[in-house]
Amino acid sequence: MQPTNTISVTANIGRGVLAGLVGTVVMTAFQKLVEMPLTGRENSYAPADFAERVLPVHPTTAEGRERLNNATHFALGGMWGTAYGIAASRGLRGQKAVNTVFAVVYTGDVLLNTALGLYEPRKWSMQDWVVDVVDKYVQAQATGLFFDRLLDPARRS
């Protein structure tokens, strides 16, 4: 027999993954409709670069690279949601949860990608930093909002 808190953590992780996928949809829409038109930035292939660095996957066509980029983009969003689900299991909700998860996951993201040689944050312009932080913070906010308002079993009690 499993302890109840294990089931709760598992359920919250599942809800978090779903919320993270929704957050990624929101972030992607924000990027395409707001941020990229304002900044003139082209599509990023950072998710595909990450996948190619850590997995034995190397697409040979532009379409294959695009598919890898999208799949990795959403997988990473699901992982951000996992972190939110774990935070929720520990009683964090709302802005405290969003900001805590954002700080931990964003810092880990930058450190890991830098260690892998994919990011060079010391060479980023202020605009590069703002774009990276704002885009990912939009994802974190949408994940938290979706989880807290629609998926949180504590709200339904």
CA dihedral (96, 110, 112, 141) positive or negative: positive
The model's pTM: 0.90
Tell me the residue type at 80: W
- Compute the half-sphere exposure of residue 69: CA atoms within 13 Å on the CB side of its CA: 12
**23 burial class (0-12, 13-18, 19+ CB within 10 angstroms)?**
buried
Tell me the residue type at 117: G
Model pLDDT for residues 70-108, shown as the tens digit of each residue: 999 999 999 999 999 999 999 999 999 999 999 999 999
Q: How is residue 91 written in tokens?
A: 């009683």
Output the pLDDT for position 153.
66
Domain layout of the chain by residue ranges: 4-156
